[in-house]
Amino acid sequence: MKRFLIASGLCAGLLTWATPALSQTFSSEDTSFKLETVADGLNHPWSLAFLPDGSQLVTEREGQLRLIKNNQLQPDPIPGVPELVVSGQGGLLDVILHPNFADNRTLFLSYAHKISREGMTTRVARATFDGQKLQNVDVIFEALPRSSTSRHFAGRMEFDSNGNLYVAVGDRGEMDRAQNTSDDAGGVHRLTINGDPAPGNPFTGEGSANATFFTYGNRNIQGMTRHPETGDIWTHEHGPRGGDEVNILRSGANYGWPKVTYGIDYSGLSITDKTTMPGITDPLHYWVPSIAPSGMAFYTGDLFPAWQGDLFVGALKMRKLVRLRFEESNLVEEEDLLMDLNERIRDVRMGPDGALWLLTDSSNGKVYRVVPND
C-alpha cells in the first residue's frame, strides 16, 4: 500500500495560560492549535464519553469510573462498576452511551473479568447512570472460552445507525484463535442492546460459528468509530512488530490475522510471508514500524475547517496523534502531530463542543482538548 503524502507536524514548546487550564500551542500543516488540560491525575485513563449536561465520564484501566464536571475531576469514583480484574492489558476499558441515553440513562462498559481456574476474558455490561452511581448492572456479553493470558482484550465499542452494538475482542495473545469462528476471540461481535446476535449477522445458523460474529481475523482492535457520512464502522488494530491496520468493517469479512500480516513476531522471526491472499480483506492503511494505535475519531466540528472529515488516531508507542485524510477509502495525506508532547495517547474523541479530546496513558493521565490557537 502506498502513502500518497506524508507530512510531519511541527511542534513548538510555547506555554500560554488559558481558562480553565494550562494550554500548549502547536502547529500543523493546515492550522495552529493548542491543548487545554481539562483534567489530570487519572490512573491510566482508557475511554471518554460525553454526557448530555456537558460533563464527561472517563474510565481508568485500574478499575474506576470517573466524572469530570465543570472542567473538574470529581474526587470520588462512581460506585456500581461491575466486578473486574486488573491484569496486564486488562482492566476497565471502554465506556459508551446508548444512542438514547438522554431518555434512558443507559450506558455500556467493557472490561476484563476473571474466574479462578477458567481464566480471563472480555465482558460487556449494561447499566443505568443516575448522575451519581451505576444501577441495574447486567452482563450482556462474555467472550468464550477464557484463557490465562493477560493480553489483547481489545474492548472498543461503537453503535451503528440501527442501534446495534459492535464489540471488539482481541486474540488474547493466542493468534490462531482469530481464524476460528467458534471461538469468540479475534473478531468483532455485533449485538443488540440485550446481548443477542444482531439481526442479519453473517454467521447466523452456520454450524458451530458464533452468531454474534460480524468480522474475524482481527488481532487487537483498540480504535473504533462510525463514519459521519457513510455510517460504516471503521477500526484500527495493533499489529505485532509492524502491521498496525486501519480497516472498514464488512459483514463476514476475514481480516487475515495471522494468515497475513505486514508485521513480524516480537522474536524477530517471520509469522507468515504473505501480506494478502484470496478471501482476505486488505487494510486501507498500515504502519511499519508499529505506532501502537489506540483511539480514533473523525473530525466533524466547526473549529477546524481544514480538518473536516479527517480521521485522527492516537499512538501509544510512537507517542503522537496521526491525522489521516481519505478520499473514497484511499489515503491521500498523513500528518504526525504532537510529537514533542511525549505522551502515550490512549483515546481520541470528537467532542460535542467542536474540539478533539484526547486521553493520555500514564499513572498521571490527562484529558486534553484540542482547540484553535487564536
Q: Indicate which residues carry an active-site annotation.
A: 152
Three-state SS annotation for the chain: CCCCCEEECCCCCCEEECCCCEEEEEECCCCEEEEEEEEEEECCEEEEEECCCCCEEEEECCCEEEEEECCEECCCCCCCCCCCCCECCECEEEEEECCCHHHHCEEEEEEEEEECCCEEEEEEEEEEECCCCEEEEEEEEECCCCECCCCCCCCCEEECCCCCEEEEECCCCCHHHHHCCCCCCCEEEEECCCCCECCCCCCCCCCCCCCCEEEECCCCEEEEEECCCCCCEEEEECCCECCEEEEECCCCCECCCCCCCCCECCCCCCCCCCCCCCCCCCCCEEECCCCCEEEEEECCCCCCHHHCCCEEEEECCCCEEEEEEEECCEEEEEEEECHHHCCCEEEEEECCCCCEEEEECCCCEEEEEEEECC
